[in-house]
């Protein structure tokens, strides 16, 4: 996969970039809507990524272009950065410069291969490639964790998407051949070896092509449900409730919707830890079962799935996947399956047939490998 941020930069701005920085999207293996509840998550970086080619400017102007939006150059002054301006993809770049309190201008060209709106975190790939680049270029001396926080602030406070911090941490800290166990409350990370290919398995992504928008609506309302549940249970966040506490806590909530949301978050935290333990034992059958249980919880209790993803999960399981689930923020996007590498062709045909039967637009399917986190590439 060759991306073209550097050549796009040269073509558009007429000079060389000072450097090129790349940051990956991620698959969240498990741990959905647990991050903003101070819980645990287990994402891994994928090879699909965003590249940012950048050079500084002396006149305090920012000029940005994206190879995914040909012909458009967005220009503004670094001193006029303010949440809400500009809109669209450029807000993610401007938001990072704002969160890092940039005082100098720059030219920037981006190119990306993470499918947009599929739940594979194209936004973190964008903000983290830009954050890593600006940090190097202007010598801010920030650690990867600090860059992750700035990237998250760009999304939360500049773009206005109320997401948690998993995606940015994953994009910056993941390592090839590993998933990253991130405990938000403790603010600790652990590299968990994750090599399904050694067991003859693959992770197949089935992108339903149904698009979500995290800046609006459902994501936010799930977050509010979780906050309301924590308030009623007198805990700082739902991380303060364990599976053992659950029966009493659910009784105390006295609201069917909050019961379901809480049950998802609390059991999901436990499944994350259980999958990490199963991976350590190479118990792939158990990993698969937990993935499917997580899907049921995400679909039924958290009500964050959609028919197209549910149909994909079902077809994948029928085609012999060890487990399958909706990954990412929900309300569309992609399913992942842990599946025998030899069964991939059958699984693809099964999904195609199920989609065709229902007149859904065809899904996009590809395998992913646990890949490296963000880095300077030129």
- Binding-site member from 35, 107, 111, 343 for ligand GLA (CB under 6 A): 35
In whole angstroms, the minimum distance from the beta carbon of 166 to ligand GLA comes to 5
**Bond into 2 cis (ω within 30):** no
Site residues for ligand GLA, 323-352, by CB under 6 A, read: 328-329
Question: Any idea which residue has 């029928």 for tokens?
Answer: 318
Residue 222 is a binding residue for ligand GLA (CB under 6 A): no
167 part of the active site: yes
Residue 32 is a binding residue for ligand GLA (CB under 6 A): yes
Contact 312, 362 (CB under 8 A): no
Q: Among residues 35 and 51, whose Cβ is nearest to ligand GLA? A: 35
- Binding-site member from 38, 48, 51, 167 for ligand GLA (CB under 6 A): 167
DSSP 298: I
In whole angstroms, the minimum distance from the beta carbon of 24 to ligand GLA comes to 14
Please give the distance of CA 188 from its chain centroid, rounded to a whole number: 18
Residue 166 is a binding residue for ligand GLA (CB under 6 A): yes
- Identify the three-state secondary structure at position 280: helix
Query: Residue 206 is inside which H or E element, if any?
Result: strand 201-207
- Binding-site member from 66, 113, 127, 163 for ligand GLA (CB under 6 A): 163
Residue 373 is a binding residue for ligand GLA (CB under 6 A): no
- Through-space distance between the first and last CA atoms of the chain, rounded to whole angstroms: 16
CA-CA distance, 264 to 51, in Å (whole number)? 35
Please give the distance of CA 330 from its chain centroid, rounded to a whole number: 11
Q: Among residues 66 and 121, whose Cβ is nearest to ligand GLA? A: 121
Residue 207 is a binding residue for ligand GLA (CB under 6 A): no
Tokens of 307: 């028919």
| Residues recognised as catalytic | 167
Residues that bind ligand GLA (CB under 6 A): 28, 32-33, 35-36, 121, 163-164, 166-167, 328-329
């Amino acid at each position: 996969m060759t991306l073209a941020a550097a050549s796009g930069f040269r073509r558009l701005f007429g000079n060389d970039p000072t450097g090129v920085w790349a940051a990956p999207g991620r698959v969240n293996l498990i741990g959905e809507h647990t991050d903003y509840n101070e819980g645990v998550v287990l994402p891994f970086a994928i090879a699909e990524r965003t590249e940012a080619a950048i050079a500084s400017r002396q006149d305090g102007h920012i000029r940005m272009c994206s190879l995914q939006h040909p012909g458009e150059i967005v220009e503004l002054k670094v001193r006029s950065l303010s949440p809400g301006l500009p809109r669209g993809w450029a807000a993610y770049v401007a938001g990072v410069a704002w969160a890092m309190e940039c005082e100098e201008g720059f030219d920037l060209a981006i190119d990306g291969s993470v499918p947009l709106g599929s739940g594979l975190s194209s936004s973190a790939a964008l903000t983290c490639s830009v954050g890593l680049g600006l940090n190097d270029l202007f010598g801010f001396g920030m650690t990867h964790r600090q860059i992750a926080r700035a990237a998250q602030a760009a999304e939360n406070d500049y773009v206005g998407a109320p997401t948690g911090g998993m995606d940015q941490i994953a994009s910056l800290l993941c390592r090839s051949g590993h998933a990253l166990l991130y405990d938000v409350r403790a603010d600790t990370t652990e590299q968990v070896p994750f090599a399904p290919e050694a067991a003859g398995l693959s992770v197949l992504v089935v992108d339903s092509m149904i698009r979500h928008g995290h800046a609006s609506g459902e994501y936010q309302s799930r977050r509010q449900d979780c906050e309301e549940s924590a308030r009623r249970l007198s805990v700082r966040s739902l991380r303060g409730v364990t599976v053992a506490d659950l029966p009493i806590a659910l009784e105390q909530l006295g609201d069917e919707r909050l019961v379901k949301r809480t049950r998802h978050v609390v059991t999901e935290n436990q499944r994350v830890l259980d999958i990490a333990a199963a991976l350590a034992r190479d118990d792939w059958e158990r990993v698969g079962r937990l993935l499917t249980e997580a899907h049921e919880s995400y679909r039924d209790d958290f009500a964050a799935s959609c028919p197209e993803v549910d149909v994909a999960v079902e077809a994948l399981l029928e085609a012999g996947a060890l487990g399958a689930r909706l990954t990412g923020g929900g309300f569309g996007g992609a399913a992942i399956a842990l599946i025998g590498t030899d069964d991939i062709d059958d699984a693809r045909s099964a999904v195609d047939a199920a989609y065709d039967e229902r007149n859904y637009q065809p899904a996009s399917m590809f395998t992913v490998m646990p890949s490296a986190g963000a880095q300077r590439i030129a």
